Structure 1
Amino acid sequence: MAIRQGLLALLSQGPRYGYQLRAEFEASTGATWPLNIGQVYTTLSRLERDGLVSPGEQDEQGRVVYSITEAGLAEMGRWFSTPVAQSDRPRDELVIKLALAVTATTDVRPIIQAQRTATMRTLQAFVQARRASVENPAQRLVLDSMIFQAEAEQRWLDHCEAVLTASPRPRRPAATATENPDTEHPNAEVPDVEVPDAGSPRG
């Protein structure tokens, strides 16, 4: 999710200044996506440049309140109506790590066990946070998603362990005659050779 669309969604509820937007963004996402105030104001400047928000007058504390424009509402509507493509999501580093570990014939079991422990701790933290978010349905939905993902990751790790335990570890294939013509292939058949009798005269 782009930060700009998130800020537009919050501004659709009424004018806000930067610190309000940061606090509400983090509260809505269950603090799973922390923002610094610099990101917020940089994004607001770009939204203003693109005509999606308009700044108001500074208040007595020097804060500028921003409002969403009609173009901003249309942009937000397009974002809400467009499904998120799988290709738009970040690559899963854990999947890549395990795949490369198998390719490198590394013992994957310690990697799986370490990840399983870390994922369980994360899952427990999400469950505790969810219990504290019963009054915030937006935050609860985000935490529910994180819980489901952690549970799915645990099941996938169990699946990986079962598959790798049942499958023989890959071995490097033996060199063929074309790869090293001076080396006899270990699986080549030995031709039958007639051995003369020791007592027979040689021709």
Structure 2
Amino acid sequence: MSIRHGLLALLDQGPRYGYQLRTEFEARTGATWPLNVGQVYTTLGRLERDGLVAPHGEDAEGHVYYAVTEQGRAELRNWFDTPVPRTNPPRDELAIKLAMAVTVPGVDVEAVVQGQRRHSMKALQDYTRLKGQALTAERDGRSDLAWLLVLEQLIFQTEAEIRWLDHCETRIAQYRPAPVSAPEPAPPPAPAPAASAAETPRARRRSRF
């Protein structure tokens, strides 16, 4: 998430001070990525250092306003025009967790997958409910396109995560070692064949006479 460029986008619409920037950023993203005021002012300090924003006076309460510079506008236009790179994807904690789980003895990987699926399904239900509320507000003339786009991205992302978890469960099952079956008991020895009449002791004695 680029807080730097998000703040530039807000300042491009007019000077603001730190708390205003925080409030508007969270309003436009539905507080999906909450900011604290310290984080906002740290970012503003870096933007000022880089010549992208400049102080723009104070109000009666001592709030320092910031305005975007021409260099900042050029940076913002470049951000909008440049695709988000996918060559270095951000770290995904869930992917890292499963990658570690399949290599650590004693971890019930299937339980990890199933627990995450339940959590993701609950999140998907919550996002879908919020989308319904946003669509209702839109019909009532209180449209918030920015929040609706963020919600739909979260819905698609969570749906993809659930499909991936289903795939993980199938893949893990393929690598599970086949159960070792107990050896079948050996068959009992066959009974000895009965002796014929010609081979009995009485028959042998009779054969002498």
TM-score, with normalisation over the residues of structure 2? 0.75
Alignment partner of 1:120 is 2:128? no
Q: CA deviation at 1:164?
A: 2.2
Give distance in 2, aligned partners of 1:48 and 1:168: 56
What is the CA–CA distance in structure 2 between the aligned matches of 1:150 and 1:16, rounded to whole Å? 34
Distance between the aligned counterparts of 1:136 and 1:59, measured in 2? 29
Equivalent residues in 2 for 1:96-107, closer than 5 Å: 96-104=96-104, 106-107=107-108
Structure 1: tracts of 5 or more residues without a match: 172-203
Between the aligned residues of both structures, percent identity stands at 57
Aligned twin of 1:137: 145
Deviation, structure 1 residue 136: 0.9
Residue deviations 1:86-118 (CA, integer Å, cap 9, x gap)? 244421221222222222354311111100111
State the Cα RMSD in Å. Answer: 1.9
1:64 and 2:64 equivalent?
A: yes
Question: What CA deviation, in whole Å up to 9, does each residue of 1:162-202 have, x standing for no partner?
Answer: 2222443399xxxxxxxxxxxxxxxxxxxxxxxxxxxxxxx
For 2:123 and 2:44, locate their aligned partners in 1 and report how far apart those are by CA, in whole Å: 33
Match of residue 162, structure 2, among 144, 151, 154: 154
AA matched with 1:122 = A
Aligned to 1:54: 54
Whether 1:163 aligns to 2:164 is no
Amino acid at match of 2:154: M
**What are the Cα deviations for residues 12-58 of structure 1, in whole angstroms up to 9, with x where unaligned?**
11111111110111111121110001111111122112211121221
1:95 counterpart SS class: helix
**d(CA) in 2 for partners of 1:149, 1:80:** 22
Query: Aligned ranges for residues 175-186 of structure 1 at < 5 Å?
Result: none
Distance (whole Å) between structure 1 residues aligned to residue 175 and residue 57 of structure 2? 68
**C-alpha separation between the residues in 2 aligned to 1:141 and 1:95?**
25
Q: Which amino acid aligns with 1:149?
A: Q
Partner of 1:81: 81
CA distance, structure 1, for counterparts of residue 146 and residue 79 of structure 2: 18
Question: Secondary structure of the residue that 2:134 maps to in structure 1?
Answer: coil
How many residues matched? Answer: 171
Using a 3 Å threshold, how does the CA distance of structure 1 residues 165 and 51 change in structure 2: closer, same or farther? same
Distance 2:177 2:108 in 1: 9
- Structure with greater Cα Rg: 2
DSSP-derived class of the 1:133 partner: helix
State how far apart, in whole Å, the 1-side matches of 2:88 and 2:132 are.
Answer: 31
| Partner Cα distance (2:98, 2:132) in 1 | 33
Structure 1's 52 and 110: CA in aligned 2 closer, same or farther, altered over 3 A?
A: same
Residue 128 (structure 1) shift: 2.1
Q: 1:130 to 1:39 in 2, by over 3 A?
A: same
SS at match of 2:33: coil
- Structure 2 unmatched ranges of 5 or more: 136-142, 180-209
CA distance in 2, matches of 1:170, 1:149: 34
